[in-house]
Amino acid sequence: MPGENLSREEARERAAILSVERYDVALDVRSAVGPAAGSGPRTFRSTTVIDFRCSRPGASTFADLIAPSVASVRLNGRDLDPATVFDGTRIALDGLAERNTLVVDARCAYSRTGEGMHRFEDPEDGEVYLYTQYEPADSRRVFANFEQPDLKAPFSFRVTAPEGWTVLSNGAADGDPVPAEGGGATTVFAPTQPISTYITAVVAGPYHVEHDHYARTHPDGAVLDIPLSALCRRSLARHFDADAIFDVTRRGLDFFHESFDYPYPFGKYDQAFVPEYNLGAMENPGLVTFREEYVFRGKVTRPSYEGRANVILHEMAHMWFGDLVTMRWWDDLWLKESFADFMGAFALVEATEFTEGWITFANRRKAWAYRADQLPSTHPVVADIPDLEAAKLNFDGITYSKGASVLKQLVAYVGRDAFLEAARRYFKRHAYGNTTLADLLSVLAETSGRDMAAWSAAWLETAGVNSLTPQVVCDAEGRITELSVAQTADGARPRLRPHRIAVGLYRRTPEGALERYARAEADVAGPSTAVTELTGQPRPDLVLVNDDDLTYAKTRFDEVSLATLRERLGELTDPLARALAWSAVWNMTRDALMPARDYLELVLRFAGQESDIGVLQSLHLQARSALEHYVAPDARQEAGASLAEGALRELRQAEPGSGHQLAWARFFSAVAATAADLQLLQGLLDGSAKIDGLDVDQELRWTFLEALVSEGAAGADAVAAERGRDDTASGHRHEVRCLAARPDPEVKAAAWAALVDSDTLSNALVEATLAGFVQPGQRELGAPYVAPYFAAIERVWAERSIEIAMDVVRGLYPSFQEGALVLAETDKWLSERAEAAPALRRLVLEGRDDLARALRAQQCDAPSR
């Protein structure tokens, strides 16, 4: 639609003349229940009053609104013709006064894509649930506004909903709901502090709600008493462990209050776990929303609870980094996401039972960053974001995990005390305002005395990842005479950076363990840096050049160290060092420096010894990726059989009932392909086979069934029977995924049509259908869709919401097809479609890069046997 993709320049021009004093938003969502009126989209009434100032009276601007219809627009008492001033995305406002009041009465559409006001009907009990999700710019789907982060204002919401519903917003309810004319009840909420449009929120429906509170005395004597609530759908209530959620919440509030010395600024703290959510969570002040998959329906491993705690703490960190102080424009998205990612892990380790959080960070979050930083679409942490479509795509591994990794390096560079003191000054100085990079650097320079401009130029304003390799020289007596660290950069991004690192020396003990016997910290800069503190140490079996994971860089090995890891990786006793070694060999595999089957051999030999289950699950994901993408094609079947054999061996040897056993069971089902493997899975489903201690609960049943269905060992009847056992929203998603996974050309054609030619699927069912359609073991069934993919993606981008379009374009890229052919088709499309939307071209370029990387890795793997 014209005007939907707001540009940075338009936002700057509008912010230069406008300041917003308040919003008063009234929503009537009683239409969410009962039959829809008419043949168009189901809609709700939205009435908005905006009081704002204009520094240049007589100027023109626009308000943002995406709605099927507008009943009336009134500016400063003048009625404007909606047909003239509203084009579907913007309301033209001319002849502004110094002080202005805009009143817009519209019919806005409920969403099925997770954008705006999402409506979900629970198949288990027929109840309807609503929630909003806006980032970066979807509040305009719910009410008229100035949709940019630097036009903050207080918001007052008034929501009329069906009788008996729970209705929440950012502010606390101002009294009990009042009966509304025509039925239902109206809840009025107290005005918020000044906040940005994208973090306003409404949740409404017959939610199951549990309550608690947080009470502490702040050092300045102020008593903090924060009401807490946690809610989910009623049909999930039997699985809801709200006490565990409240425990993490209280610990997080303690940690952030102590660290930031700024009391939580938004009154209450509600946490809503909502259905069909596109994200992990969203930091709406006073009303955080989470995907309901964090309400665990079956047995999960410890990393699932760790991951949920990390997300809770990530969103809580946003109450300060992002909500209290907000970036001026999406260029500085890192000012909230990088800090929340880092502070979430920081709080996880220091305030909860999950003290292994930095291991998970090193092994999983940084893997995301390393991948993103090697794509053609990589960008500096401080990015160049010209418009909203670009902003949407920059919620990526650079903005989150590279930024967080850089902040971890910053703490090592300036010291923890200086870092936290800078945060405290930043909050006090800019509370309820908007900032840029310069504002943060100034307080960091104050507290650390360091040259933050040089640090920022190296780490925040340039893209790319460096590699660090040890170079060791020993004398005849086996003593180190020289140890240096070589630093290299990718050819396209040659910048070398300053790194504060720890270098660890490891050797085997008489008991057969690999343990560190020496460590030195060093500042690495330039192509080679000597680490003189380690001169004279005995010859190491292994040198780890980023020990303790202080910096952001790929780790390489000298020949002796790599040989040691090939034979002894599992003997590393320190779990973080072991995780770093695993991360390094995985990066070598992705970079075509280690044959993929060598990596799989390491997994088969040593993954069974891995004590950290989060690392183990990462190894399982990476082993699958190596098998599906990086193993030479003619060796894939044999390598897969070896993986399945090893997985079954470890499954049978794992401690009964343990998380390790569950992890191996899931991995085995993912790689099972032989008739014997599938027979075992079928036996575990029907009870004719048993593995001691393995509880095949409903979620695990669906996992096993999908493996059977995708291999043609079970069909639609089995899926229908399983849905009969699990007539829930989750069961429906699993059913859709399994049905689309069947190895049948007609099934694939129907799934393709549902994804590409229709917009009737909800966001959750798009995700499920994509997951079922794309099966690595069904490459021949995907071959007919290479040309149709490139013929369809511009239409998909133009016709669908950006969230769904991104999912379809990414999910259907034909990465499992014959590589040279797909590369040629991709290059042809990129050449012929130079005028296609930049965000769309970015997604296609990323798919191409992943495929080209896979082909290089396959070439590396091919001659290794």
**Position 490 confidence tier, pLDDT thresholds 50, 70, 90:** confident
pLDDT tens for 735-792 read: 999 999 999 999 999 999 999 999 999 999 999 999 999 999 999 999 999 999 999 9
DSSP 113-163: SSSEEEEEE-TTT--EEEEEE-TTT-GGGTS-B--STTS-B-EEEEEEE-T
The number of domains in the chain is 4
The pTM of this model reads 0.95
Enumerate residues 6+ apart whose C-beta is below 8 A from 793. 808, 809, 840, 844
pLDDT tens for 146-203 read: 999 999 999 999 999 999 999 999 999 999 999 999 999 999 999 999 999 999 999 9
CA distance 669 to 297: 19
pLDDT above 60 for 319: yes
The reported pLDDT for the residue numbered 864 is 53
Residues 50 and 132 in one domain: yes
pLDDT-above-90 percentage for the chain: 95
pLDDT tens for 713-734 read: 999 999 999 999 999 999 999 9
Going edge to edge, which strands form the sheet with 514-524?
514-524, 499-508, 542-547
72 within a domain of the structure (yes/no): yes
CB-CB contact of 130 with 276 (8 Å): no
CA distance 722 to 21: 55
Residues 50 and 10 in one domain: yes
284 within a domain of the structure (yes/no): no
Q: What is the mean predicted confidence (pLDDT) over 596-606?
A: 97
CATH code: domain of residue 505: 2.60.40.1840
pLDDT tens for 441-463 read: 999 999 999 889 999 999 999 99
686 within a domain of the structure (yes/no): no
CATH code: domain of residue 346: 1.10.390.10
pLDDT, averaged across the chain: 96
Enumerate residues 6+ apart whose C-beta is below 8 A from 537. 479, 480, 505, 517, 518
Query: What domain range includes position 498?
Result: 466-551+553-575
716 within a domain of the structure (yes/no): no
The reported pLDDT for the residue numbered 492 is 82
275 within a domain of the structure (yes/no): no
Residues 492 and 442 in one domain: no
Residues 859 and 795 in one domain: yes
Over the range 271-284, which residues count as b (16 or more CB within 10 Å of their CB) and which as e?
bbbbbbbbeebbbb
Residues 430 and 561 in one domain: no
Which of 438, 459, 480 represents a domain boundary (last residue)?
459
pLDDT above 70 for 2: no
Look at 492-496, 533-537, 828-832 and tell me which has the smallest mean pLDDT. 492-496
pLDDT above 70 for 145: yes
pLDDT tens for 239-263 read: 999 999 999 999 999 999 999 999 9
Residues 406 and 547 in one domain: no
Residues 402 and 480 in one domain: no
pLDDT tens for 625-660 read: 999 999 999 999 999 999 999 999 999 999 999 999
CB-CB contact of 112 with 765 (8 Å): no
DSSP 640-681: HHHHHHHHHHHHHHSPTT-HHHHHHHHHHHHH--SHHHHHHH
704 within a domain of the structure (yes/no): no
Which of 206, 230, 248 represents a domain boundary (last residue)?
206
CATH code: domain of residue 198: 2.60.40.1730
Residues 512 and 404 in one domain: no
Omega before 154 within 30 of 0, i.e. cis:
no
Residues 437 and 562 in one domain: no
> Which residues face 205 on adjacent strands?
166
76 within a domain of the structure (yes/no): yes
Residues 343 and 399 in one domain: yes
> Which residues face 108 on adjacent strands?
44
Separation of CA 133 from chain center? 15
Q: What is the mean predicted confidence (pLDDT) over 373-391?
A: 94
Residues 40 and 136 in one domain: yes
Classify burial at 16, counting beta carbons within 10 Å of its beta carbon; exposed 0-12, middle 13-18, buried 19 or more: exposed
483 within a domain of the structure (yes/no): yes
pLDDT above 70 for 503: yes
Which of 159, 182, 206 represents a domain boundary (last residue)?
206
Catalytic residue list contains 315: yes
Residues 497 and 515 in one domain: yes
Residue of 147, 315, 356, 706 with catalytic role? 315
pLDDT-above-70 percentage for the chain: 99
